[in-house]
Amino acid sequence: MKLFFGVLTFLLIFFLTSCQPATGIKGTFSQRVDSLLHEMTLEEKVGQMAQITLDVITKGPDEFTSDEPLELDLSLVRKAIVDYKVGSILNTANNRARTLEKWNRVIHQLQQMAIDETRLGIPVIYGIDAIHGATYTASATFFPQQIGLAATWNRELVKRAAEITAYEVRASGIPWNFSPVLDLGRDPRFPRMWETFGEDVHLASELGRQMVKGYQGDSNDVANHQRVAACLKHFLGYSVPRTGKDRTPAYIPGIELRERHLPPFQAAIEQGVRSVMINSGLINGIPVHANRQIVTGLLKEELGFTGVVVTDWKDIYNLHDRDRVAASEKEAVKLAINAGIDMAMIPYDFNFCEYLVELVQEGEISMERIDDAVSRILTLKYELGLFEKPVTEAADYPGFGSRDFEKVALDAAVESITLLKNEEVLPLEKGVKVLVTGPNAHSMRSLNGGWSYSWQGEKVHEFAEGYHTLLEAVQKVNGEANVIYEPGVLYKEDGKYWEEKVINIEKVADAARSVDYVILCLGENTYTEKPGDLHDLELSENQLKLAKAVAASGTPIVLVLNEGRPRLIRTIEQDMDGILQMYLPGNFGGDALAQILFGEANPSGKLPYTYPMYSNSLATYDHKPSEEQNKMAGMYDYASDFAIQYPFGFGLSYTRFEYTDLQLSKSRISAGDSLKVSVIVKNTGSRAGKEVIQLFTSDRYASVTPDVKRLRAFEKITLPPGESREVSFDLHTSQLAFVGEDLQWRVESGDYEILLGGLTVSFQVKESN
Annotated active-site positions, please?
Answer: 312
The burial of 616, by beta-carbon neighbours within 10 Å (0-12 exposed, 13-18 middle, 19 or more buried), is given as: exposed
* Structure letter (DSSP) for residue 629: B
Whether the ω angle into residue 468 lies within 30 degrees of 0, i.e. cis, is: no
Alpha carbon of 403 to those of 63, 138, 324, 400, 408: distances in Å? 39, 16, 51, 9, 9
Distance CA(143)–CA(273), nearest Å, equals 21
Give the end-to-end CA distance of the chain in Å, rounded to a whole number. 19
CA proximity to 238, closest of 275, 196, 267, 203:
196
* Host H or E run for residue 163: helix 155-171
CB-CB contact of 661 with 679 (8 Å)? yes
Distance CA(28)–CA(378), nearest Å, equals 12
Distance CA(393)–CA(603), nearest Å, equals 39
CB-CB contact of 182 with 131 (8 Å)? no
Distance CA(699)–CA(737), nearest Å, equals 10
3-class DSSP state for residue 490? strand
Backbone angles phi, psi at 158, to 5 degrees: -65, -45
Angle, in degrees to the nearest 10, between helices 329-339 and 367-383: 70
Phi-psi region at 549: left, alpha or beta (left = phi > 0; alpha = psi -120 to 50): alpha
CA 494 to chain centre: 27
Find the length of the chain. Answer: 769
* Residues 6 or more apart whose Cβ sits within 8 Å of residue 307: 22, 25, 273, 274, 275, 276, 376, 379, 380
* Structure letter (DSSP) for residue 748: B
CA angle 751, 651, 427 (to 5 degrees): 155
Strand 88-90 and strand 282-283: pairing? unpaired
CA proximity to 173, closest of 95, 101, 69, 222:
101
Alpha carbon of 554 to those of 434, 436, 516, 548, 638: distances in Å? 14, 16, 10, 10, 40
Backbone angles phi, psi at 141, to 5 degrees: -85, 120
Distance CA(346)–CA(349), nearest Å, equals 7
Backbone angles phi, psi at 641, to 5 degrees: -85, 125
Phi-psi region at 244: left, alpha or beta (left = phi > 0; alpha = psi -120 to 50): left
**Across-strand partners of 630?**
none
Strand 668-670 and strand 759-766: pairing? parallel
The burial of 1, by beta-carbon neighbours within 10 Å (0-12 exposed, 13-18 middle, 19 or more buried), is given as: exposed
CB-CB contact of 84 with 353 (8 Å)? yes
Q: What radius of gyration, in Å, describes the C-alpha atoms of the chain?
A: 26
3-class DSSP state for residue 12? helix
3-class DSSP state for residue 332? helix
Distance CA(54)–CA(34), nearest Å, equals 30
CA proximity to 165, closest of 206, 217, 208, 130:
130
* Residues 6 or more apart whose Cβ sits within 8 Å of residue 25: 220, 272, 274, 306, 307, 379, 383
